[in-house]
Amino acid sequence: MDTKELYREILNEHNINPTHKQDMNEATFCMDGVNPSCGDQITLKMKLNDDGIIENVSFIGSGCAISQASADMMADLLIGKTKEQALSLADIFDRMIKEEVSEEELEQLDEAAALQDISHMPARVKCAMLGWRTMKQMLGIETN
């Protein structure tokens, strides 16, 4: 199986059987995200524990396979991380889309690296970025 086929399988699995596409009660943060160019939309929720560790991430919404799979992969990646680590991963994801990431950084994205080729499909970049952009906006909000 070649790499592109493996990436397609990962993308399809996260779209068809998303682990984190569900509502969450008692979220610490909640934010709506919309991609106005195609109509994809999500409501992203995140729960942090008292130590500032991301305990849970979920999303609800609708959109194309890329936006929904990307949000699910992001949620997988963020659980157990701090806000700072989550924002660092978002920076790596942004740079991956711009083809400005090292192999070592790419490995930190785990399955989200399956979206690396999206950079060659400009119309789909905003789809892949929706969850990540929403998360960055959400974590920029101070709760204190």
**Bridge partners of residue 71, in order along the sequence:** none
Q: What digits encode the pLDDT tens for the residues 86-134?
A: 999 999 999 999 999 999 999 999 999 999 988 888 889 999 999 999 9
Tell me, what's the pLDDT at 144? 34
In which band, very low, low, confident or very high, does the pLDDT at 1 lie, cut at 50, 70 and 90?
A: low
Report whether pLDDT(46) > 50. Answer: yes
pLDDT category of residue 21 using cuts at 50, 70 and 90: very high
Percent of the chain at pLDDT > 70 equals 95
Q: Say how far apart CA 42 and CA 114 lie, in whole Å.
A: 20
Distance CA 135, CA 123 (A): 21
In angstroms, the CA 46 to CA 132 distance is: 13
In contact, 44 and 30? CB cutoff 8 Å: yes
Q: Report the predicted TM-score, pTM, of the whole model to 2 decimal places.
A: 0.91
* DSSP state string for 37-61: TTTEEEEEEEEE-TTSBEEEEEEEE
